[in-house]
Amino acid sequence: MKYPINRERLAKRFMTLCEIDSPSWQERRVADHLIAVCTELGAQEILEDDSSKKTNADCGNLVVRFPGSLPKEPLFFACHMDTVEPGCGVEVVQTGDIFTSRGHTILGGDDKSGIAALLEMMQVLKETNTPHRSVEILLTTCEEVGLLGAKSLDHTLLRAKSGYALDSTGIDRVIAGAPAANRLKIKVHGIAAHAGLNPEQGVSAFCLAARAIADLRLGRLDEQSTANFGLINGGVATNIVPDLITIEGEVRSHSADKLNNYTREIEETFRNVVKNWAAQAGGVKQPSVDISVQKEYPSMLVESEDPVLTRVKRAGDVLEREISFEVAGGGSDANIFNSYGLTTAIIATGMKNVHTIEESLDLRDLYSLTELLLAVVLV
């Protein structure tokens, strides 16, 4: 089946969105643009929640309602409005069908590719007066900095109870499962001393942290779990034994038990290293460690027979395209939506090399995504 998608309009819409600055916490400009566009497209209602009070963003999440005439279950489609840095002053370059930035910023296809496809979908439905099910477009803030908009979402604003988040690399891919994650922040307290005059009076927090990290299992832990430390900070000067090192990391797993066990393993490793070092060192002052664990997001898993997945498969069949269904290793707004009881799968949007200045998007993939979304709302 062929839909009258306007390639030039789709390309222009995508480029326009990318060139509106919307780094995390500063989504107001793109939100206002989307409110205006959705009003022109005939949105029945546009709601903005009060999540900004919790996220400190300059706007809230948006819920945009488009009524349908088909007596079918309503669906929501979700995208996030924010981008990572460097994401201000984006200049889009189109070379044939390929979009890139000029090279000093990201492109912004994460997640404006999904937004552009949704807007084109609604434009086609309006122009052709095609009967379709009711659609809600959910636009969140602060996804890139911890899914903050989704976590603060007033999900009671949504009438649809299931839908899709448009936010992954590749094309014709649907993510049905993703892990839970714990974020760890560990402060290792040593004892400061002059590194040249009396180093024996100090205890290096850096050495304590290094010993603990060396004792840990990191990377791929098993087929369901990973662990990583990616940030380290501390020290004052090269001639001072550092008395504080802070490291931050994460544990992810599709299994709640494994997530808890691996997190506990890390905690115990750090505590044991500090305890053993203190026992050997003696003295009045003792090293110590403070560990905080924050649940970053819950796991998600949509069963293969769920309508959210079978509907996409039917849409692929209509288009004579094979849709792959996968379990991924990353978290997204979809993890949060599923925890609200809103059954959500993730549809890939074609973006490549996201979060880098080498990011790109192929207009042919964006066109294919729009085709798939149209098929989904019509089957």
**Where does a domain end: 233, 263, 297?**
297
Q: Answer for the pair 161, 342: CB distance below 8 angstroms, yes or no.
A: yes
> Could you tell me the CATH number of the domain that includes residue 158?
3.40.630.10
**Where does a domain end: 297, 331, 362?**
297
CA distance 75 to 308: 9
Does the residue 36 lie in any domain?
yes
pLDDT digits (tens, 9 = 90+) for 346-379: 999 999 999 999 999 999 999 999 999 999 999 9
274 and 338 share one domain: no
Q: Which of 49, 82, 333, 371 is catalytic?
A: 82
Does the residue 174 lie in any domain?
yes
pLDDT digits (tens, 9 = 90+) for 72-111: 999 999 999 999 999 999 999 999 999 999 999 999 999 9
Does the residue 2 lie in any domain?
no
212 and 359 share one domain: no
258 and 204 share one domain: yes
Residue 124 per-residue DSSP state: H
Q: Is 223 a catalytic residue?
A: no
132 and 229 share one domain: no
Residue 307 belongs to what domain range? 7-178+299-378
pTM: 0.92
pLDDT digits (tens, 9 = 90+) for 267-283: 999 999 999 887 766 66
> Could you tell me the CATH number of the domain that includes residue 199?
3.30.70.360
Q: Which of 143, 144, 296, 359 is catalytic?
A: 143
Handedness of CA 192, 197, 198, 200 (dihedral sign): positive
**Where does a domain end: 297, 323, 346?**
297
85 and 227 share one domain: no
255 and 292 share one domain: yes
Q: What total number of domains does the chain contain?
A: 2
Does the residue 131 lie in any domain?
yes
187 and 155 share one domain: no
Write down the pLDDT at residue 2. Answer: 81
Does the residue 255 lie in any domain?
yes
Q: Answer for the pair 124, 374: CB distance below 8 angstroms, yes or no.
A: yes
186 and 170 share one domain: no
Q: Is 143 a catalytic residue?
A: yes
CA distance 156 to 163: 15
287 and 201 share one domain: yes
